[in-house]
A and B are shown apart, each in its own frame.
Chain A
């Protein structure tokens, strides 16, 4: 679809997506409650830190880390894999394919449109983090904010493209549900969502660093809480955006090829 058509339609798509997110407000609250894992992990790791720091993490650092993890999760999460898989199975993807706009763009705007509502949850959490941790809860400089912002956008894109890839596999496999379950487990363990990735032993850490999961969660959290100097931060960002480009290309190719297999079941 042409960029011009897409850009012209984008504001209306976002507005209507927001209206839908508001209509599903109960679902949104349940989703927020379901993503409170960082708060549980915070309680757990704070208890551990009471007897002594874990690496560079004392109680205050854990508060800063897990509240940042909660915020990053709210702002980067995506449900496109499940939605796409469902729509492939039900055949309702057909209704999206009939429109002269990329279904992937439509999915993206639906996810993005939910962010303003999530900010209502994120803002007080950031305020609490600032109150408990102090200035270290957020980037210290404008440049730091810039790097954090870039990592947040990168994390959103990596998560979105992984979701597209997993959802699109429904066009190739009879069910990609189990793959999604495996993905979620890997995400929880390897991304820094349940504990900082630096807690992994060095050998495992090397593997974690080349997988995409850290760039979905750990990196933005680390940059929000000032864990890296500018140089190492830029290296990590380059790796993250490498994943963005790589996954973007692969997801788009798999999607395009997969459409030839779409059976448009039902009706």
Chain B
């Protein structure tokens, strides 16, 4: 469905130090630097897959999404989406895809969302019966009954985002790019959005690519993740395998009937946190069974769970590794 080979996107950025002198100098001489937003990444995505793009700010995730959606022209490399070259922006291609950006909106600000839906029906040339059916489904699943006739400007962020998603799906895109779709939403709204997006993928078989800083979005939606760091692909595989690679240790979360001595906990594993009624231990994967057994026999345990390290920590560690690797490479590149 999606094939990316050696994708590069470089920008020329005008650099200028602060101050009047620099401002005046920039009138006659400007210096530009080339920023490598995406620097030679390759991957394939099969039809119906749900893939998460992960990476720190400025990693190149959104740039990649925008290239895939045909908004940006690649500096180098080949990109195909369902047989189309995105940068050509052919009508057939644009009718198959949609990019939802949490920080940009397509809803008409002063008109009710129903008007944007109708506009999209006309622009995407959706047959009336199909439009009616799709709209009924979207309104029901996203609970939009009371929202679609209010002016968009009077909707809350969460309400607006639900309508934004509905507007994006009126033409039933086969490839859905989601760039931070839950940004700024409260927890309950995030859960609603995730459930809806997953249901859409399962029902229609649409391919879904997501970027999000909320790891819960990625964990709930994406069996596969692609990690991009400084424009380069640093991991492509399942989320579980990524966690295993970066943080193979498990966390044993204990609820305790009464406070226990710290020394007792330390004898079982590395203590991540310790409070009067609870404790979290980090242990090697192969020591989990033994640790659990000892904890149950030596501590006043009322509840016990074994978990992976939080995804946020895993990602943070992965990005730190990347940073350290780059610093090392830079040091080696400097002649002695």
Determine if chain A interacts with chain B: yes
Q: How far is the CB of A192 from chain B (nearest CB, A)?
A: 35
A197 to chain B, nearest CB (A): 36
Is A55 engaged at the interface, CB distance under 8 Å to the other chain? no
Is there contact, CB below 8 Å, between B71 and A24?
A: no
User: Which residues of chain A are near B62, meaning CB under 8 Å?
Assistant: 267
* A99: B residues at CB distance < 8 A: 94, 120, 123-124
Residue of B98, B110, B122, B151 near A98 (CB, 8 A) is: B98
A100 & B71 in contact (Cβ 8 Å cutoff)? no
Residues 118-133 of B at the A interface (beta carbon under 8 Å): 118-125
- B99 CB-CB contact with A under 8 Å: yes
What's the least CB distance linking A13 to chain B, in Å? 7
Per-residue CB contact flags for chain B residues 4-46 toward chain A (1 = under 8 Å, else 0) read 0000000100100000000000000000000000000000000
Beta-carbon contact of A5 and B101 below 8 Å: no
> What is the size category of the interface that chain A forms with chain B?
20 to 34
Contacts of A20 in B (CB 8 A): 108, 110-111
CB pair A174 B14 closer than 8 Å: yes
- Collect the chain A residues with CB atoms within 8 Å of residue B72's CB: 262-264
Closest to B106 in A: A95
**Chain A positions within 8 Å of B66 at CB level:** 94, 264
Pick the residue among B11, B91, B123, B180 that contacts A13 (CB under 8 A).
B123
Whether A12 and B118, one on each chain, are in contact in the complex, defined by CB atoms closer than 8 angstroms, is yes
Task: Flag whether A19 is at the interface (Cβ < 8 A).
Answer: yes
Is the pair A16, B104 in contact by a Cβ cutoff of 8 Å? no
Whether A13 contacts B179 by the Cβ 8 Å rule is no
- A–B pairs, 17, beta carbons within 8 Å: A8-B125, A9-B123, A12-B119, A19-B111, A23-B110, A91-B104, A94-B71, A97-B70, A99-B94, A100-B91, A100-B94, A101-B123, A263-B11, A263-B72, A264-B66, A267-B62, A267-B102
Task: Please give the distance in Å from A31's CB to the nearest CB on chain B.
Answer: 16
User: Is B80 an interface residue, CB under 8 A from the partner?
Assistant: no
Q: Contact at B103–A267, with CB atoms within 8 Å?
A: yes
In the A-B complex, the 3 residue pairs with the smallest Cβ-Cβ separation, listed nearest first, are: A12-B122, A267-B103, A100-B94
Q: Is B69 an interface residue (CB 8 A)?
A: yes
Distance in angstroms between the alpha carbons of A129 and B14 in the assembled complex: 54
Are A266 and B122 neighbours in the complex by a CB distance under 8 Å? no
Do A13 and B122 have beta carbons less than 8 Å apart?
A: yes
Asked if A176 CB lies within 8 Å of chain B CBs, one says no
